[in-house]
Amino acid sequence: MHSENNVAADSNDHIEVKNTTCYMCACRCGIRVTLKNAEVRYIQGNPDHPLNKCVICAKGSSAIMKQYSPAHLTQTHAPQKRCRAGRQ
């Protein structure tokens, strides 16, 4: 079984599509986010949004990588101490 966004789904998978706003740039375009078992699987422009009318920029398209990138920090770290020039 496939959803409208070509996200493969088993009979036990929970697929839902949520309309929201993209925060990758200042435009705040409308997006549709497809979730599979509460994990982001696909991002597309929202055709009902008056600003972008289904078009989404490269930043918005790559927003899923912000969530799942291996470079994404998963733990908080204490800030590093700053020192004046010449003193440590």
- In tens, the pLDDT along 43-88 reads 999 999 999 999 999 999 888 888 787 776 666 666 777 777 665 5
- Is residue 75 one of the residues assigned to a domain? no
Residue 32 has pLDDT above 90, yes or no: yes
6 domain-assigned: no
CA nearest neighbour of 52 among 42, 60, 62: 60
CB atoms within 10 A of CB 6: 9
On whether residue 84 sits in a domain, the answer given is: no
pLDDT score recorded for residue 5: 54
Is residue 5 in a domain?
no
In this model, does residue 26 exceed pLDDT 50? yes
Q: Residue range 26-40: average pLDDT?
A: 93
Query: Is the model's pLDDT at 18 over the cut of 90?
Result: yes
Residue 23 one-letter amino acid:
Y
CATH code: domain of residue 32: 3.30.200.210
Answer yes or no: pTM beyond 0.85.
no
Name the strand (E) or helix (H) holding 36: strand 30-36
Is 81 domain-assigned? no
